[in-house]
Chain A
Amino acid sequence: MAVESGEPDLQFRDPEKAEQLTDRLEALMDDIGERVTIMHVCGSHEQAIAKYGLRSLLPDGLTIRMGPGCPVCVTDMPEVDEAVALAEEGKIVATYGDMLRVPGTEKSLDDAKADGADVRVVYSASEAAEIAEEEDEEVVFFATGFETTAAPTAAVLTAAPPENFSILSAHKYVPPAMEVVAELPDTDVDGFLAAGHAATITGYGLFEEFVEDYEVPTVVGGFEPIDILFGLAKLLEFIRDDEPGLANAYQRCVSEEGNVPAKETMWDVFETTTGEWRGIAQIPEANLVLREEYSQYDARGRFDIDVDTTSSNPLTEECLCGEIMAGKADPDDCALFGEECTPQDPVGACMVSSEGPCKIWLEYGGQPDI
């Protein structure tokens, strides 16, 4: 778009630089001489790739797949059911707007709200705590997201929120999910473009062990078109040199150690446990639950949550969200895509969030044959 006034075009949106990087990708692919599959692990990467039409620039043989990088998408159905049950019992449930339409077994929070439940949209955990200060009723924050939202949730709990405040944690921790995907036999990932957002908190050094253990090159990347092309070029260099290396291609935001105070707060409050990622698998040590010291804020301990997971929408069985996030399918491989499953009436969570691969694929026209 021609922007008439305001900020000048930032250098990471410079088409000339993009062209140079595209040439570089071509040359690297020529050197490599075989097909390469890169997986990104962030919905914002998919957003940028689709929005700027970057797939149409990629050299033949280079494929970018989507990984389990959308926090809304990997929130499991029973977790949504728990939030719905609490809302229906009369608790005020506060959560991020993207979670409202995510289908549970029988209902979404939006459905519960339509039936009279008090469900509030908030922009942050602290906003949910503020609601608890203003209200007499129990306020439960349905806490979703990766490290980027888990750290702020933790900060709220360390700041002694009101007694009528608790959290229903569906927070997830990304690195173990990458390990699972790296081990999936059908996925066949040659390199990971790791999420710059999460790495802002955890630091890129976190991936050293992953790269060592799984021998897959990994580059932390930002979200502007040049960031992504640069990240891909770094990955192809590693692949060409047959070197399972680690690089930080998002230096303006990510350091080796990350945001140390935020990280410390997060681990003071949360510990990892094994849990289900929607449609993908049970992933060891990838769900974040409250430590014993913070158990008074744990909605699961405080309330007797009774969920019925027996009567889900039959279409759910046909949903390919899990395959898509494991890098084994594209959204339009799913028979429900854009027909029975739309942003207004989603079957799978991938069609709900602005970071969901199916929603993005629908919004930006998918893989262009152009």
Chain B
Amino acid sequence: MSDEQEVITEAHGAGSGQMRELIEELAVSRFESDDAETDVPLAALDDGSVHRLANGGGSVVVTTDSHVVTPLFFRGGDIGRLAVAGTVNDLAMMGATEPTALTCSLIVESGTPVDTVERVMESMRETSEEAGAPITTGDTKVMGSGEIDTLAINTTGVGIVQQGGHVPDAGLSPGDKLIVTGTVGDHGISLLSEREGFDFEGDLQSDVAPVNDLVAAAMDAGKITAMKDPTRGGLATSLNEMASKGGVGLEIDERSIPVSGAVASAGEVLGIEPLNVANEGKVVLGVASEDADAVLEAIRNHPQGADAAIVGEAVDDHVGRVILDTGFGNRYLTEPEGEQLPRIC
């Protein structure tokens, strides 16, 4: 009802339009500054901010992320791996593929077994080594039983890029090709299945992994104009954001989007679109048309990119919208509204 006090809902955390509106209203309007040394400010709502150092000494990229997930340990990963990979990947999405340092801030519920936290910390150590991203400082808080669900982790990351060498998510131009680095929907569909207690046969598991090395290989091979990791809100949200921020339209061929058989089948049963759910180890890149083949080849030659594919291109029509060729007809690919829930009735 209109006279009720507005409250935060789970939909505000689902990673699409409602969340952006909330951030703009609550944070951007208050924290925005006109610092001329900031190449990518808060208002860009990119994966991180970029700040020029004096004397042409490169630019600092800063990003931060908090992680909550149910269950804490899932097929293919856990909250610790998610926390390190998520921040490493946000740095990589800005072009900072060699992270300088990460922080680790834990908020733990009273009564949580030490063993549980230890397993998570060990996973963070392994993932930070894998990504070459040292964890150098942190913080720990304990809250009362029931005041938080077991464990939340915040990680902040710092990296360096050459001045002007960062990659925004707003950089698409008409003609740019879109590359997806592997199968989409693995993390989201796998977690939803596990949460709902569906035991699908096959190898459904999260794709959570640091992708900075893969991104470095892609950046070495050609001109990357825009980049996003399709986490909450999935590929559909990332593509819509890239179209809207870049001032272009996107034409995507659904048949070329890599989706594993297990994810496609489970998605059908659950009534969930794999394109609408989170990925934690995939990237969508805009690539200058002339470099697209070389970048695709470099990605495919990387162990994490064997399933990569060119899925479409940016056009100057229908600005801000994503057109999906389903193989039958065309429709708009829209951002999912709110949390994706399995079909019940």
Chain A residues in contact with chain B, CB under 8 A? 1-7, 13, 15, 18, 50-57, 71-72, 96-99, 121, 123, 144-145, 225, 313, 342-344, 353-355, 362-366, 368, 370
Contact = CB atoms under 8 A, between A and B. Distances in A.
A197 to B, nearest CB: 12
Contact of A7 (B18, B257, B265, B309): B265
16 contacts: A2-B258, A2-B309, A3-B264, A6-B264, A13-B327, A15-B327, A56-B330, A72-B345, A96-B345, A121-B344, A123-B344, A144-B345, A354-B345, A365-B333, A365-B334, A370-B323
Interface stretch (B44-52, B58-66, B118-126, B335-343): B335-343
B146 interface: no
A355 B344 CA distance: 11
B332 A4 contact: no
Given A362-B337, A370-B331, 4 more contacts: A1-B257, A51-B326, A145-B345, A365-B332
B39 interface: no
Contacts of A370: 318, 323, 330-332
A366 B307 contact: no
B329 interface: yes
Contacts of A5: 260-262
Nearest to A49: B329
Contact of A57 (B1, B328, B337, B338): B328
Interface in B222-263: 254-262
Contacts of A2: 255-259, 309
Given A2-B309, A3-B261, A97 B344 contact: yes
A188 B336 CA distance: 34
B183 interface: yes
B324 interface: yes
B329 A56 contact: yes
Contacts of B307: 4
Interface in B292-345: 307, 309, 318, 323-334, 336-338, 341, 343-345
Given A52-B326, A344-B11, A368-B323, A6 B261 contact: yes
Contacts of B341: 97
B271 interface: yes
Contacts of A99: 345
B104 to A, nearest CB: 33
Contacts of B323: 368, 370
A13 B324 CA distance: 16
A53 B253 CA distance: 12
Contacts of A365: 331-334
B9 interface: yes
B264 to A, nearest CB: 5
